[in-house]
Protein backbone atom coordinates (compact mmCIF):
# COMPACT_ATOMS: atom_id res chain seq x y z
CA UNK A 1 0.00 0.00 0.00
CA UNK A 2 1.43 3.40 -0.96
CA UNK A 3 1.66 6.30 1.46
CA UNK A 4 -1.10 8.21 -0.33
CA UNK A 5 -3.36 5.15 -0.24
CA UNK A 6 -2.66 4.73 3.47
CA UNK A 7 -3.76 8.30 4.17
CA UNK A 8 -7.14 7.49 2.62
CA UNK A 9 -7.45 4.38 4.79
CA UNK A 10 -10.35 4.69 7.23
CA UNK A 11 -8.05 3.37 9.96
CA UNK A 12 -6.12 6.65 9.87
CA UNK A 13 -9.28 8.66 10.48
CA UNK A 14 -10.21 6.42 13.40
CA UNK A 15 -6.74 6.82 14.92
CA UNK A 16 -6.97 10.60 14.68
CA UNK A 17 -10.47 10.67 16.15
CA UNK A 18 -9.52 8.45 19.08
CA UNK A 19 -6.35 10.39 19.78
CA UNK A 20 -8.23 13.70 19.82
CA UNK A 21 -10.98 12.30 22.04
CA UNK A 22 -8.34 11.02 24.44
CA UNK A 23 -6.56 14.38 24.60
CA UNK A 24 -9.44 16.86 24.48
CA UNK A 25 -11.92 14.99 26.66
CA UNK A 26 -14.78 17.35 27.49
CA UNK A 27 -12.90 20.36 26.14
CA UNK A 28 -9.66 22.36 26.21
CA UNK A 29 -10.39 24.45 29.29
CA UNK A 30 -7.13 26.41 28.99
CA UNK A 31 -7.81 27.40 25.40
CA UNK A 32 -11.43 28.19 26.18
CA UNK A 33 -10.36 30.50 29.00
CA UNK A 34 -7.71 32.40 27.06
CA UNK A 35 -8.94 32.55 23.47
CA UNK A 36 -12.06 33.82 21.74
CA UNK A 37 -13.81 31.79 19.05
CA UNK A 38 -12.83 34.39 16.46
CA UNK A 39 -9.12 34.52 17.33
CA UNK A 40 -6.90 33.65 14.39
CA UNK A 41 -3.50 32.10 14.69
CA UNK A 42 -0.43 31.26 12.67
CA UNK A 43 2.03 28.62 13.74
CA UNK A 44 4.87 26.53 12.38
CA UNK A 45 6.38 23.13 12.99
CA UNK A 46 10.03 23.72 13.88
CA UNK A 47 12.48 20.84 13.60
CA UNK A 48 15.01 20.64 16.45
CA UNK A 49 16.70 17.39 15.51
CA UNK A 50 18.31 15.70 12.51
CA UNK A 51 16.53 12.87 10.78
CA UNK A 52 13.77 12.00 8.33
CA UNK A 53 10.38 13.67 8.69
CA UNK A 54 7.21 11.61 8.51
CA UNK A 55 3.65 12.45 9.47
CA UNK A 56 3.14 15.98 8.17
CA UNK A 57 0.13 14.87 6.16
CA UNK A 58 -1.26 13.07 9.20
CA UNK A 59 -0.85 16.26 11.24
CA UNK A 60 -2.91 18.06 8.59
CA UNK A 61 -5.72 15.55 9.14
CA UNK A 62 -5.56 16.23 12.89
CA UNK A 63 -6.00 19.98 12.40
CA UNK A 64 -8.83 19.49 9.91
CA UNK A 65 -10.73 17.62 12.62
CA UNK A 66 -10.10 20.42 15.13
CA UNK A 67 -11.43 23.21 12.90
CA UNK A 68 -12.33 23.14 9.21
CA UNK A 69 -10.80 26.60 8.70
CA UNK A 70 -7.28 25.47 9.59
CA UNK A 71 -4.89 24.94 6.70
CA UNK A 72 -1.48 23.29 6.92
CA UNK A 73 1.11 24.27 4.30
CA UNK A 74 3.95 21.72 4.11
CA UNK A 75 7.38 23.18 3.39
CA UNK A 76 9.03 19.75 3.10
CA UNK A 77 7.62 16.42 1.97
CA UNK A 78 7.20 13.38 4.18
CA UNK A 79 10.29 11.21 3.77
CA UNK A 80 12.66 14.19 3.42
CA UNK A 81 15.89 14.56 5.43
CA UNK A 82 15.63 17.42 7.94
CA UNK A 83 17.96 19.33 10.27
CA UNK A 84 17.58 21.55 13.34
CA UNK A 85 16.15 24.98 12.56
CA UNK A 86 14.18 23.85 9.52
CA UNK A 87 10.53 24.90 9.39
CA UNK A 88 8.57 21.84 8.30
CA UNK A 89 5.13 23.37 7.79
CA UNK A 90 3.04 26.45 8.53
CA UNK A 91 -0.43 26.30 10.02
CA UNK A 92 -3.05 29.05 9.72
CA UNK A 93 -6.59 29.36 11.01
CA UNK A 94 -8.63 29.32 14.17
CA UNK A 95 -6.27 29.73 17.13
CA UNK A 96 -8.32 27.55 19.48
CA UNK A 97 -8.34 24.76 16.92
CA UNK A 98 -4.59 24.98 16.38
CA UNK A 99 -3.90 24.64 20.11
CA UNK A 100 -6.49 21.87 20.50
CA UNK A 101 -4.68 19.82 17.88
CA UNK A 102 -1.12 20.77 18.83
CA UNK A 103 -0.19 17.84 21.08
CA UNK A 104 -2.00 15.18 19.06
CA UNK A 105 -0.44 16.39 15.82
CA UNK A 106 3.01 16.48 17.42
CA UNK A 107 2.58 13.03 18.94
CA UNK A 108 1.93 11.54 15.51
CA UNK A 109 4.58 13.66 13.78
CA UNK A 110 7.35 13.06 16.31
CA UNK A 111 6.73 9.31 16.62
CA UNK A 112 6.50 8.73 12.87
CA UNK A 113 9.60 10.86 12.24
CA UNK A 114 11.49 8.90 14.88
CA UNK A 115 10.57 5.62 13.17
CA UNK A 116 11.50 6.95 9.73
CA UNK A 117 14.80 8.31 11.05
CA UNK A 118 15.89 5.01 12.63
CA UNK A 119 14.76 3.08 9.56
CA UNK A 120 16.88 5.36 7.39
CA UNK A 121 19.91 4.67 9.57
CA UNK A 122 19.51 0.92 9.11
CA UNK A 123 18.93 1.29 5.37
CA UNK A 124 22.12 3.34 5.00
CA UNK A 125 24.03 0.81 7.08
CA UNK A 126 23.31 -2.02 4.61
CA UNK A 127 23.62 0.02 1.42
CA UNK A 128 25.14 -1.93 -1.46
CA UNK A 129 24.56 -5.38 0.04
CA UNK A 130 21.19 -6.06 -1.55
CA UNK A 131 19.57 -6.74 1.83
CA UNK A 132 16.28 -4.99 2.56
CA UNK A 133 15.29 -3.64 5.96
CA UNK A 134 11.80 -4.64 7.10
CA UNK A 135 9.66 -3.99 10.14
CA UNK A 136 7.73 -6.42 12.36
CA UNK A 137 4.37 -6.49 14.16
CA UNK A 138 6.00 -4.98 17.25
CA UNK A 139 4.10 -1.75 16.83
CA UNK A 140 2.19 0.47 19.26
CA UNK A 141 -1.31 -1.03 19.68
CA UNK A 142 -3.72 0.76 17.38
CA UNK A 143 -1.01 2.66 15.49
CA UNK A 144 0.27 -0.06 13.17
CA UNK A 145 -0.82 1.59 9.91
CA UNK A 146 1.06 4.77 10.81
CA UNK A 147 4.09 2.96 12.25
CA UNK A 148 4.45 0.94 9.06
CA UNK A 149 3.87 4.00 6.89
CA UNK A 150 6.76 5.68 8.70
CA UNK A 151 9.01 2.68 7.98
CA UNK A 152 8.30 3.04 4.26
CA UNK A 153 8.99 6.78 4.41
CA UNK A 154 12.34 5.95 6.00
CA UNK A 155 13.27 3.69 3.08
CA UNK A 156 12.37 0.34 4.62
CA UNK A 157 9.81 -2.27 3.62
CA UNK A 158 6.83 -3.67 5.46
CA UNK A 159 6.69 -7.27 6.63
CA UNK A 160 3.20 -8.69 7.10
CA UNK A 161 0.67 -6.18 8.41
CA UNK A 162 -1.24 -8.71 10.48
CA UNK A 163 -1.89 -12.38 11.07
CA UNK A 164 -4.04 -12.60 7.94
CA UNK A 165 -1.32 -11.45 5.53
CA UNK A 166 0.84 -14.54 5.32
CA UNK A 167 1.69 -17.74 7.14
CA UNK A 168 4.59 -17.30 9.54
CA UNK A 169 5.33 -20.52 11.39
CA UNK A 170 7.21 -19.55 14.55
CA UNK A 171 8.74 -21.61 17.35
CA UNK A 172 5.53 -21.93 19.35
CA UNK A 173 3.61 -23.08 16.27
CA UNK A 174 6.31 -25.70 15.65
CA UNK A 175 6.02 -26.97 19.23
CA UNK A 176 2.22 -27.08 18.97
CA UNK A 177 2.30 -28.99 15.67
CA UNK A 178 5.05 -31.40 16.68
CA UNK A 179 7.70 -30.21 14.23
CA UNK A 180 8.34 -28.02 11.20
CA UNK A 181 7.18 -30.56 8.62
CA UNK A 182 3.90 -31.16 10.45
CA UNK A 183 3.30 -27.42 10.84
CA UNK A 184 3.94 -26.74 7.14
CA UNK A 185 1.68 -29.62 6.07
CA UNK A 186 -1.17 -28.37 8.25
CA UNK A 187 -0.80 -24.84 6.90
CA UNK A 188 -0.73 -25.97 3.28
CA UNK A 189 -3.86 -28.05 3.84
CA UNK A 190 -5.65 -25.16 5.56
CA UNK A 191 -4.77 -22.71 2.78
CA UNK A 192 -5.96 -25.13 0.10
CA UNK A 193 -9.22 -25.96 1.89
CA UNK A 194 -10.06 -22.29 2.45
CA UNK A 195 -8.77 -21.14 -0.95
CA UNK A 196 -6.39 -18.63 0.63
CA UNK A 197 -3.50 -17.37 -1.45
CA UNK A 198 -0.78 -16.74 1.11
CA UNK A 199 2.94 -17.36 1.30
CA UNK A 200 4.51 -19.58 3.94
CA UNK A 201 7.54 -18.54 5.99
CA UNK A 202 9.22 -20.73 8.61
CA UNK A 203 11.28 -19.54 11.55
CA UNK A 204 14.39 -21.60 12.24
CA UNK A 205 16.85 -21.53 15.12
CA UNK A 206 19.67 -23.74 13.81
CA UNK A 207 20.99 -25.38 10.66
CA UNK A 208 19.10 -28.62 11.29
CA UNK A 209 15.83 -26.70 11.29
CA UNK A 210 16.91 -24.91 8.12
CA UNK A 211 17.36 -28.31 6.45
CA UNK A 212 13.95 -29.44 7.66
CA UNK A 213 12.27 -26.29 6.35
CA UNK A 214 14.02 -26.71 2.99
CA UNK A 215 12.66 -30.23 2.70
CA UNK A 216 9.07 -29.01 2.95
CA UNK A 217 7.09 -28.22 -0.19
CA UNK A 218 5.48 -24.79 -0.27
CA UNK A 219 7.88 -22.85 1.93
CA UNK A 220 8.71 -19.49 0.29
CA UNK A 221 10.91 -17.89 2.94
CA UNK A 222 13.07 -19.09 5.80
CA UNK A 223 13.75 -16.90 8.81
CA UNK A 224 17.10 -17.25 10.55
CA UNK A 225 16.30 -16.31 14.13
CA UNK A 226 19.19 -15.18 16.35
CA UNK A 227 21.86 -16.75 14.12
CA UNK A 228 25.46 -15.63 14.60
CA UNK A 229 26.94 -14.20 11.35
CA UNK A 230 29.06 -17.32 10.69
CA UNK A 231 26.08 -19.65 11.08
CA UNK A 232 23.93 -17.25 9.08
CA UNK A 233 26.39 -17.36 6.19
CA UNK A 234 26.39 -21.18 6.27
CA UNK A 235 22.60 -21.19 6.22
CA UNK A 236 22.46 -18.81 3.25
CA UNK A 237 24.92 -21.01 1.35
CA UNK A 238 22.92 -24.12 2.21
CA UNK A 239 19.65 -22.54 1.07
CA UNK A 240 21.31 -21.53 -2.17
CA UNK A 241 18.63 -19.07 -3.33
CA UNK A 242 15.98 -21.77 -3.43
CA UNK A 243 13.81 -19.62 -1.17
CA UNK A 244 14.06 -16.12 0.28
CA UNK A 245 16.04 -15.69 3.48
CA UNK A 246 15.21 -13.36 6.35
CA UNK A 247 17.45 -12.59 9.32
CA UNK A 248 15.88 -11.60 12.61
CA UNK A 249 16.57 -11.35 16.31
CA UNK A 250 18.56 -8.73 18.23
CA UNK A 251 20.14 -7.09 15.19
CA UNK A 252 21.46 -3.59 15.89
CA UNK A 253 23.04 -0.79 13.89
CA UNK A 254 26.42 -2.12 15.03
CA UNK A 255 25.75 -5.63 13.72
CA UNK A 256 23.39 -5.15 10.77
CA UNK A 257 26.11 -4.69 8.16
CA UNK A 258 27.79 -8.02 9.02
CA UNK A 259 24.37 -9.65 8.89
CA UNK A 260 23.61 -8.15 5.47
CA UNK A 261 26.96 -9.27 4.07
CA UNK A 262 26.05 -12.93 4.67
CA UNK A 263 23.70 -12.68 1.68
CA UNK A 264 20.30 -12.62 3.37
CA UNK A 265 17.46 -11.01 1.42
CA UNK A 266 15.67 -9.33 4.33
CA UNK A 267 16.57 -8.16 7.80
CA UNK A 268 13.63 -7.57 10.13
CA UNK A 269 14.17 -5.08 12.94
CA UNK A 270 11.60 -4.92 15.74
CA UNK A 271 13.30 -1.89 17.27
CA UNK A 272 12.17 0.27 14.34
CA UNK A 273 8.75 0.50 15.95
CA UNK A 274 8.97 -0.91 19.48
CA UNK A 275 11.78 1.34 20.75
CA UNK A 276 11.03 4.66 19.11
CA UNK A 277 12.98 7.80 19.97
CA UNK A 278 10.79 10.69 18.88
CA UNK A 279 12.34 13.29 16.61
CA UNK A 280 12.45 16.64 18.40
CA UNK A 281 9.83 18.89 16.76
CA UNK A 282 7.86 21.75 18.29
CA UNK A 283 4.88 23.84 17.27
CA UNK A 284 5.51 27.57 17.68
CA UNK A 285 2.56 29.97 17.65
CA UNK A 286 3.34 33.38 16.15
CA UNK A 287 1.91 36.02 18.49
CA UNK A 288 2.20 38.77 15.87
CA UNK A 289 -0.01 36.79 13.46
CA UNK A 290 -2.84 36.48 15.97
CA UNK A 291 -5.78 38.81 15.80
CA UNK A 292 -9.51 39.00 16.06
CA UNK A 293 -11.69 38.48 13.02
CA UNK A 294 -13.90 41.46 12.11
Active site residues: 103, 138, 170, 203, 225
Report the greatest alpha carbon distance in the chain. Answer: 77
User: What distance in Å separates the CA atoms of residue 96 and residue 91, rounded to the nearest whole number?
Assistant: 12
User: What distance in Å separates the CA atoms of residue 21 and residue 128, rounded to the nearest whole number?
Assistant: 45
Residues 6+ apart with CB under 8 A from 208: none
The DSSP bridge partners found for residue 169 are 202
User: What distance in Å separates the CA atoms of residue 63 and residue 21, rounded to the nearest whole number?
Assistant: 13
> Closest Cα partner for 159 from 247, 90, 235?
247
From the CB of residue 77, how many other CB atoms can be counted at a distance below 10 Å?
Answer: 13
User: What distance in Å separates the CA atoms of residue 222 and residue 96, rounded to the nearest whole number?
Assistant: 53
Contact 239, 258 (CB under 8 A): no
User: What distance in Å separates the CA atoms of residue 266 and residue 103, rounded to the nearest whole number?
Assistant: 36
Amino acid sequence: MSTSDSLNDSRISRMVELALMEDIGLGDITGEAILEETDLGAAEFLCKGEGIVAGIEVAAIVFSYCDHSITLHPLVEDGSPVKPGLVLARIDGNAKGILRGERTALNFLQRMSGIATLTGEFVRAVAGTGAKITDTRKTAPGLRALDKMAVRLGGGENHRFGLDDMVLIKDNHIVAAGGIAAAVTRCRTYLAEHRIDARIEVETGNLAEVDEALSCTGVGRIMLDNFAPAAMKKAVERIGRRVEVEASGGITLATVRACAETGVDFISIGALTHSVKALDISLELSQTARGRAH
